Amino acid sequence: MFAKEVLERMGFKVTQTAAETVTMVQVPPIGQLKAIEEVDMGIVTDAFLTATVIASVASGKTRTLGIANQRAKERHRIRAIIDQLDKNELVGKRIPELKRGFRVHCLELT
């Protein structure tokens, strides 16, 4: 689900077996990673941190939603990832924390 619904939309090449028991993911060439304007991670909330880090180096803006249920059990990890991305200047501006998720704006990579 995560690979097809999120990574493939961002430009990764995703190949799955017919039974979807094996998934192979190939990283796109440098500069071809695309942001997803809005992604609902409600079904795969355990992968939202991975999606956030990937979004931080993708071209454009990604708004991650559907993770409100994670706020109770993962709030420290959410805050930590936001703080680390800000600290390492991987994002273009402060990441706004939303009630249902957060938004990542990538710096222009040259």
In this structure, are residues 71 and 79 in contact, taking their beta carbons and an 8 Å threshold?
Answer: no
Arithmetic mean of pLDDT over the chain: 77
The whole-number pLDDT of residue 53 equals 83
Say if residue 17's pLDDT is above 80: yes
DSSP assignment of the chain: -HIIIIIHHHT-EEEE-TTS--EEEEPPPTT--B--SEEE-STTGGGHHHHHHHHTTSBSEEEEES-TTHHHHHHHHHHHHHHHHHHTT-BSSPPPBPSS-EEEEBPPP-
CATH for the 29-105 domain, from 1.10.10.10, 3.40.50.970, 3.40.50.10780, 3.65.10.10: 3.65.10.10
How confident is the model over 95-107, as pLDDT tens digits?
Answer: 555 555 555 555 4
How confident is the model over 46-76, as pLDDT tens digits?
Answer: 888 888 888 888 888 888 788 777 767 777 7
Q: For the chain, give every domain's residue range.
A: 29-105
Token pair, residue 99, equals: 């009630």
* Residue in this structure with the two tokens 């880090």, named with its chain if needed: 53
The whole-number pLDDT of residue 110 equals 39
